Structure 1
Amino acid sequence: WLDNTLVVNEDEEWRRKRTIYNRAFRVGAIRSYAPLFLDIAEAAALDWQRHHDEQRPLDAVRSFESVALESIGRAGFGVEGMGKAGSTYAHAFVSYLRVLQDEITSPAMILLPGPLRRTVTWLRGRGYLDTMNSESLRISSGGSAGDVALAGSRGQETRRHLVSLIREAANEEGSSLDPEQLAREANLFLFAGHDTTSATLAWVFASLASRPDAQQRAYEEVASIPEQGLLEHISDPKSLPFVGAIIKETLRLYSPATMALRRTRFDEELGGYEIPAGTDLSFPIWAIHRDPKIFKDADAFQPERWLDASADQLKGMNDHWMPFMIGARGCIGQQFAMTEMRVVIATLLRRFSVRPASEPSMKQRMLLLPSNILLHCSPR
C-alpha cells in the first residue's frame, strides 16, 4: 500500500514529488488551517466538559485519536466526520493499521514463516485496504465536497484541502499525478498524521498532569493572549515559547518513532567504520533522545531545558532531536503536526486543568503508543 509513495520513492521521482508537495506543506499554507484546528479543539472541549459534568475520567488517548483523525480528514482530504464513530474510511484505516501491527508484534504471527505471515496479513487486511483505496481514490479524483471549501464555524475564508493543493501544484508544475497515485499518498498522509499526533497530545497532557507547575506556567502563557488575534498568535511558531518547549520535550521523551532506517548511497566512513554503499542503517531515536551525555536528567520531563540552555547546549540538543528525522528526507508534515498540536494544546489549556486519574503506560507496535492515560478535567 506504500508502493510508489513519497516515503519509498528515490532519485528523480522523489525530487519531483517533494517539489510538488512542498508547495502544499509550506508554513503559510499550513497556518491557514489554524481556524479548522481550533474548531476541532473546541469540539473536543465540549466532550471534556461532558466528562467533567458526568464525573467520569477522560480517556486522553481516545479523545486525541478523534482530534487527529478529524484534523487530517478535514485539512488533508476535505472529509468531515473521520473522528467520529461510523466513519467508513477511518474504520477501515484503523482496522488495517491494527492488522499491520499484528504482523510485527503478535507472537502468533511472528512464529509464522515470512511468506505465510505476509499472506495472512494480506488476507486479513485486503477488505480494509480495498475500502481505503476506494475512498481515497474518490477524494483524489475530486469527488469530495471538501474539495470546494474548508470554512470553520467562525466564517474565515475557505481553504483548499491538501490533496487538492497537491493536485493543483502538480498541474502548475506540468507534472501530472494520476488519481491512483494521489490515493496512495492520501493513505500515507493519514498513516503519518494519525497515531503520531494523537500519541504526542496524549503524552503532553499526561506529562502536564504530573507537573502542575509546568501546567500552570503553560496556562498563564496561553491565557495572556487576548481573544482578538488568538489564532494568529497560537499558530505562529515563534509565539508561545513554553508551549513549544512542552511539545519538543514530549517528542523527545515519547517519540512515536523509536527508530528510523536510512540506506547509504555511497561508500562512507562513520566513526572509523567503513560503510559500503547500499547498507541499511538504523537510528535508535529512543536511545539518542535519552542519552544523558546530551540531555541532562534525560529521563525527566523538563520542558524548561529548551528555554534555559546556553546557545551551545541548545545546538547540541537540537542536533540530536529527531522525532521527524532530519535532512532532505525529513517528515514533510512536521509543520502540519506542530501547528495542529499548538492550537489544540492552547485551546484546551485555556479551558481546563488536568489531574492524573491513572498511571500511564506505553505499548510498542509499529510506533510507540500511550495506553491507559486517564485524566480528571476541571473547567477553569
Structure 2
Amino acid sequence: MTDLSLILSNVLATLGSALALYFVGNAIYQLFFSQLRHIPGPWYAAISEAWLVSHVLRIRQSRAVQSLFEVYGPIVRVAPNRIAYLDVSSNKRIYNSSKFPKGIFYKGLLTNDNDHAMTLLEHGPHAIRRRAFASHYTPTNVSLFQPEAHDFVLETVEILEKLGGDESVDVLHLFRDMLVDIICAASFSHKIGALKDRAQGKGVNYLVQAVDDFAKRGVLRNLFPARIWEALYHIPNDRWKALVDSDKILASFVGERVREKRAGMKGGKLDEVEKKPLVQRLLEYQLPSGELLPEKDVVSEHMGHFIAGVDTTSTLISYTCWELSRRPDIARKLHMELDGVMHDSKTIPDITILENLPYLSAVIKESLRIYCPAPSMLDRVVPATDATSGPFELLGCVIPPGTTIATQSWSVHRSAAVFWSPETYLPERWLDADEIQLVEMNAHMMPFGWGIRTCIGQHFAMQTARIAIATLARNFNVTAPLAETNDRTMEPRDAFVLFPAAMRCKLTFHPRSH
C-alpha cells in the first residue's frame, strides 16, 4: 500500500508539474511570441480565457469590455485569440463582407440541437436560409399584422387598468406574455393565451418561461465542454431542469404548430392567402435543389425567431416605461404628442402615423441607444489571406487569420465624441442635432447588428414597440416604487441579450383621463 501511495503521489506531482509548466509556457508564448502580442490589453486576458469568462458568469461582459476600451484605447485583446475593437469605419469591411464568418460562440444558441439562420456561421448557407423568410419581414408585410398587435396590446392595457394604479406589476414578464401572444399569432396564426393565463391568475405561461430561460442556457452551454454540460444537465433541481430543458419545451410547442399547419396542406400546397403566417412561408420554401426545407430546420428556424423577438422587444419596452416613470418631463412631452393623434385612447393609429411622430421616435431611438437589447460582442473570424488580399489590418494592427474579432453596440452607442453625456437618457438629442450630427449619430447606432447579418426581424420589433409604447403612454402615467425598482435593480446586465440586474421591472400604471 505504501508503494501504491508513493506511485500515486509521484503521478500527481508529475501531473501538477506538467500543468504548471504548460501554464507558464503558454503565458510566455502569449505574452512574447504570439502574433497578437502587440495588441494592447491586460496581461491576464492575453494568457487565458478566465478573465472574459469571469465577466460572462457575472453577466457584465459588455461593461467589462467597455472598461478596457477606456483604459487601452479602441483595440484591445480580451482573450488569447479574441480582439475587441471600437471603430465604426471598420464595420463595413468586417460585417458587410461575406469573407468573415461568425464566431463559434453562436453555436451555443442552437435550437433543437440544430442550426437556424443566426447560428449558421458561413454566409453562403445563411443567405439561402434567409431567403426562406425574408418576405415575411418586409415593412409592407409586417404592417399586415397590426391588428394582432393592437389586440394584444389593448389586452395588456386592460390588465393594467384592472389594477387601477393601486399595485405594481412586473412589466418585464407582462410584456413577455404580450410578445409571446403577438409572435404566436404572426408565426402560426395560433393563440397561446399567455396574457389570458396571467389575467386568470394561472402564473407564468410555460412558453414564456422557456423563452426567458433560453438565452441564459445558451451562455452557460457555451462555457462548458459537451461532456461537462451533459453531466450538469442531470443536476436534480426542478428550476435548473426547467432552464436546461427550455430548448426541448420550445421545440415541442413549435413542432406541434408546424405539424398542424402541414396537416392543413391541400393537394401538396398550402392555401393561397395574402397574409401568410411565418410557418406557411417556411413550409412552402424550396431550397436551390428544389427540395422543401426539412421539418427539423423549419422548427429550429421558428424557435430562433421566437426567442429573438420576445426577449429583446419586451426588454426595450420595459426600459422605456421605466424611463417614463422617472422622467416626468419626457412623459409629459410624449403625452402631448400622443393625445394629438389618439383622441380615443383605445383606438391605435396606423403604424404610418406612429412612425411620423417625432418625439415618440426620439424616445424609442434613445431607448435603443442606451438599452440596446443585444449589447454584446458580435464575433467574426478573420479569414485566410491570399496573394491578392494581403494581411488583414485593423486600426493599424495586423491580425492573423483565425483570430476572433468583434465590436459591441454597448460601446459604440456610448461614444462620448458623438453622443453628448452618453449615459444620460436624452430623446431631445435626436431632435436638436443638426444634419451633420444626425448622420454621425445614426452611423453609431447598431441596435440590430450591422451589415449582411443584421437582424431581419427589426421592422417587426419596431412596429410592436411603437404600438405598445404609444398605447401605454397614452393610457397611463407610470411610476416606480423605489423600494422595488431603482438604479440598482435596473442596472443593465447582459447574457448576449440585455436584462435588469434584478431580472424584474416592477412599475405602477395610473390610468390617465381619456
TM-score (norm. length: structure 1):
0.85
Q: What is the CA distance between 1:176 and its match in structure 2? A: 2.0
Further displaced range: 114-123 or 57-66: 114-123
Which is further off, 323-332 or 86-95? 86-95
Matched, 1:331 2:455: yes
Deviations 1:168-195 (A, max 9, x none): 3548995621211010011101110111
The match for 2:255 among 137, 153, 172 is: 137
C-alpha distance in structure 2 between counterparts of 1:61 and 1:68, whole Å:
11
Aligned partner letter, 1:38? H
* Residue 506 of structure 2 is aligned to residue 374 of structure 1: yes
Q: 1:198 aligns with which of 296, 314, 338?
A: 314
Q: Distance in 2 between matches of 1:317 and 1:237?
A: 22
Which residue does the alignment assign to 1:29? 141
Give 1:195-274 correspondences, 5 Å limit: 195-226=311-342, 231=348, 233-235=350-352, 238-259=355-376, 260-265=378-383, 267=385, 268-274=392-398
What is the identity, as a one-letter code, of the residue corresponding to 1:209? S
CA distance in 1, matches of 2:308, 2:249: 18
SS of 1:357's equivalent in the other structure is coil
CA drift at 1:142: 3.8
Is the CA contact 2:372–2:410 (under 8 Å) kept in the aligned structure 1? yes
Taking a change above 3 Å as real, the CA distance of residues 236 and 186 of structure 1, as seen in their structure-2 partners, is farther
8 Å contact from structure 2 (residues 369, 413) kept in 1: yes
Output aligned runs, 1:312-323, within 5 Å: 312-323=436-447
Greater alpha carbon shift after TM alignment, 369-378 vs 22-31: 369-378
Q: 2:296 aligns with which of 177, 180, 195?
A: 180
Q: Secondary structure at the match of 2:155?
A: helix
State whether structure 2 residue 127 is matched by structure 1 residue 15: yes
Q: Does the 8 Å CA contact 2:382/2:400 hold for their aligned counterparts?
A: yes
Q: 1 CA distance for matches of 2:508 and 2:204? A: 27
Range 238-247 or range 81-90, more displaced: 81-90
8 A contact 1:68–1:193 mirrored in 2? yes
Could you tell me how far apart the structure 2 residues matched to 1:279 and 1:61 are? 37
RMSD, matched Cα = 3.0
Match of 1:4 among 115, 123, 126: 115
Whether the 8 Å CA contact 2:170–2:505 is kept in 1: the answer is yes
Residue 87 of structure 1: CA displacement? 4.2
| CA offset digits 1:52-93 (Å, max 9, x no partner) | 25x112222122121122222222233322534464444444
| C-alpha distance in structure 2 between counterparts of 1:223 and 1:120, whole Å | 57
Whether the aligned pair in 1 keeps the contact of 2:419 and 2:441 (CA below 8 Å) is yes
For 1:66 and 1:146, locate their aligned partners in 2 and report how far apart those are by CA, in whole Å. 27
Larger radius of gyration: 2
Counterpart-to-counterpart distance in 2, 1:311 and 1:175: 49
* Structure 1 pair 373–87 and aligned structure 2 pair: CA distance change class (3 A): closer
Distance in 2 (CA, whole Å) between partners of 1:205 and 1:364 is 19
Contact residue 74 and residue 80 of structure 1 kept, 8 A: yes
What CA distance in whole angstroms lies between the structure 2 residues aligned with 1:183 and 1:304? 43
Decide which of 155, 167, 180 is 2:283's aligned counterpart: 167
- Displacement of 1:159 after TM fit? 3.7
Instruction: Please say if residues 77 and 161 of structure 1, whose CA atoms lie closer than 8 Å, have aligned partners that are also in contact.
Output: yes
AA in 2 matched with 1:364: D
Once the two structures are superposed, the pairs formed by residues 121-136 of structure 1 within 5 Å of their partners are: 121-123=232-234, 124=241, 127-136=245-254
Structure 1 residues 169 and 99, CA gap change in structure 2 (3 angstroms):
closer
Q: Over residues 118-161 of structure 1, what are the superposed CA-to-partner deviations in whole Å (9 max), with x where a residue is unaligned?
A: 2245444664433322221222234489999xxxxxxxx98432
Give the direction of change, closer, same or farther, for the CA distance of 1:207–1:138 in structure 2 (3 Å limit). Answer: same
Show the counterpart of 1:346: 470
Determine the structure 1 residue equivalent to 2:74. none
Evaluate the alpha carbon distance shift between residue 320 and residue 284 of structure 1 in structure 2; reply closer, same or farther with a 3 A threshold.
Answer: same
Q: Is the 8 A contact 1:233 1:239 kept in 2?
A: no
Query: Residue 63 of structure 1 is aligned with which of 144, 151, 174?
Result: 174
Partner of 2:418: 294
Identity %: 25
Larger deviation, residues 225-234 vs 289-298: 225-234
Correspondence for 2:39: none
